[in-house]
Amino acid sequence: MVGLHKSEFKNPVINWVDTRLPLFTMMTKEYGVFPTPKNFNYFWNFGALAMINLMIMIVTGIFLAMNYNASTAGAFDSVERIVRDVNYGWLLRYVHANGASMFFIVVYIHMFRGLYYGSYKKPRELLWMIGVVILLLMMATAFMGYVLPWGQMSYWGATVITNLFSAIPVVGDYIVTLLWGGFSVDNPTLNRFFSLHYLMPFVITGVVFLHVVALHITGSNNPLGIEPKSSQDTLPFHPYYTIKDSVGMCVYLMVFAALVFFAPDYLGHADNYTPANPLVTPAHIVPEWYFLPFYAILRSVPSKLGGVIMMFGSIAILFVLPWLDTSPVRSAKFRPIYRQLLYVFVVVCITLGVAGGKPPEGIWVVIGRVCTAYYFLHFLVILPLLGKLEKPLPLPESIANPVLTPIGGGPLPGGAMAKPMEKM
């Protein structure tokens, strides 16, 4: 396909550029007139919010890096200096630190949306898998970022997580030495973590781009989980969803601001305000809240290698989710049993998070183990069987015409209540 693009833009400058590099046409096609199901609820805001969050992280991160010193001697002090002496450094740091938490809140809700409405099912399997890749990249980025202030939690978190790799038979210890660039977490480790922490968000940006390309091939799912059939079922992305996303963005920014300005350290750990000391481990070390469920899974298995496998497995299993769920019906609205079991699953995940934050003793060990077992049960047993056993509710004919029969037909799907657009 060689040849100039036939641009429809009136403005001569835009037209000139667009003819040679059809960016404007692309933006209009993908974000202007892009046909989008008209029945989105606010769960569909979270992808856009994640994108905004990613930009906030990159921008604040770049400015933080201007004052950060990646050395074991200088890191802790340079972060304190950022907070105390650099103009608005306190703002930059706390936006970045709480931004990581906001990012995980947003992405976990985004993923829950996918689970609830079956967005991972055919034809969106690859879109979902790219999402899981993003999740893994985010986790690696957040972990390495947390090491940078070089406090006690940074140091011991880095030690524990890198040591996970020592569970690998035969080559484990070599891998750990390679990760460290030495024989313990030290200056070389900090330096490479900084280098990678700077790099990864741009890798994430690239993968998010693929995520969006894949999304625009399949089109978005929607609360009813049925494909749009005609133009009656869709709206142009702009202005309908640019506005809806903006409303969500305002709420999101309010929550974000409340965290940053009123509770900047609420989600952090006081121990990380003690400079790293390789000779003393804090009494109770825990990762950041967004890793707690996985940490609980790790600790639930009384075998080093087993725990590591289960922990990574709990994320890896998401890659095959599209094939584990055998039900052809997407939206949980029409799957009464799945819907309830999904809530159970969410409670189990939250309980795992709580257990991960407690010292591994007494009842919490038991709770952790039960929930770990249920986590895998959900994916490996419940989902494959449920698809065969459950009797879904009748699906509506189309998005514009959501009710099959006025009588019976189960609860009226809330998101489908949107009135058909009145013709102007």
Q: 65 or 320: whose CB is closer to another protein?
A: 65
Give residue 313's Cα distance to chain centre. 17
Residues that bind another protein (CB under 8 A): 59-60, 63, 66-67, 81, 84-89, 91-92, 424
Q: Which of 234, 212, 340, 352 is nearest to 293 (CA)?
A: 352
Least distance between another protein and beta carbon 31 (Å): 17
Q: How far is CA 43 from CA 40, 47, 48, 152, 418, in A?
A: 8, 9, 10, 37, 15
Instruction: Label residues 322-341 b or e (16+ Cβ within 10 Å = b).
Output: bebbebebbbbbbbeebeeb
Nearer Cβ to ligand HEM (47/368): 47
Q: Using CB distances below 5 to 8 A depending on partner kind, what does residue 215 bind out of another protein, ligand HEM, none? A: ligand HEM
Q: Which is nearer to another protein, 33 or 257 (CB)?
A: 257
Distance CA 284, CA 359 (A): 7
Q: Tell me whether residue 239 or residue 414 sits nearer to another protein (CB atom).
A: 239
Handedness of CA 172, 173, 175, 180 (dihedral sign): positive
Q: Is 245 a catalytic residue?
A: yes
Residue 363 binds what, of ligand HEM, another protein, none (CB under 5 to 8 Å, by partner type)? none
Give the number of residues in contact with ligand HEM, rule: CB under 6 A. Answer: 30
Structure token digits, residue 118: 């079956």
User: How many beta carbons lie within 10 A of that of residue 362, not counting itself?
Assistant: 9
Q: Which does 146 bind (CB under 5 to 8 A by kind): ligand HEM, another protein, none?
A: none
**Residues whose CB is less than 8 angstroms from the CB of residue 128 and which lie 6 or more positions away in sequence, other chains included:** 114, 119, 120, 318, 321, 322
Type and span of the H or E element at 37: strand 35-37
Of 110, 96, 93, 87, the residue nearest 55 (C-alpha): 96
119 binds ligand HEM (CB under 6 A): yes
Look up 216 and say whether it is catalytic: yes
Which x/- pattern over 79-118 shows residues binding ligand HEM (rule: CB under 6 A)? Answer: ----------------------------x--xx--x--x-
The residue from 28, 36, 38, 44 that contacts ligand HEM (CB under 6 A) is 44
Span of 168-176, 215-223, 261-269, 286-294 interacting with ligand HEM by CB under 6 A: 215-223
**Rounded-to-integer distance, Cα 34 and Cα 237, Å:** 5
Q: Which one from 110, 119, 197, 245 is the annotated catalytic residue?
A: 245
Stretch that binds ligand HEM, among 72-80, 124-132, 189-197, 332-340 (CB under 6 A): 124-132
Q: Which residues are annotated as catalytic?
A: 216, 220, 244-245, 288
Binding site for ligand HEM (CB under 6 A): 44, 46-48, 50-51, 54, 107, 110-111, 114, 117, 119-120, 124, 127-128, 131-132, 134-135, 138, 204, 208, 211-212, 215, 220-221, 318
